[in-house]
Amino acid sequence: MSKLNIVSTKKMIKILLFLRFELIRKKGSHHFFLNKENNKTTVIPVHNNEDIGPGLLKNILRDIDLNIDEYEKLRNKIR
């Protein structure tokens, strides 16, 4: 199992878009994403492009059914 590396909100959004998630709405600084293929949803807080900490990142990965190894491969692949 790989170490969980933090990521910027901008890069996390790119990862979600790569995984075919769509931005369905914004409420304040929170962006809500939906993948229509598997009906998974998640919320990304966008606060001045701050990094997403490990606790929140684990929750997001659990929401989208992505394990840490798959996440790390995508994180390194997407620029």
Identify the three-state secondary structure at position 29: coil
User: What is the distance between the alpha carbons of residues 30 and 75, in angstroms, rounded to a whole number?
Assistant: 21
Q: Evaluate whether residue 1 is within a structural domain.
A: no
pLDDT of residue 20: 97
List phi, psi (to 5°) of 33.
-120, 145
Domain range spanning residue 49?
7-77
User: Which helix (H) or strand (E) element contains residue 8?
Assistant: strand 7-8
The set of residues, in sequence order, having a beta carbon less than 8 Å from that of 24 and lying 6+ positions away, is 32, 33, 34, 41
Domain membership flag for residue 2: no
pTM above 0.85, yes or no: yes
The total domain count for the chain is 1
Does any domain span residue 24?
Answer: yes
Q: What is the CATH classification number for the domain harbouring 45?
A: 3.30.920.30
Q: Is residue 28 part of a domain?
A: yes
pLDDT by residue, tens only, the chain of 79 residues:
567 889 999 999 999 999 999 999 999 999 999 999 999 999 999 998 789 999 999 999 999 999 999 999 999 999 8
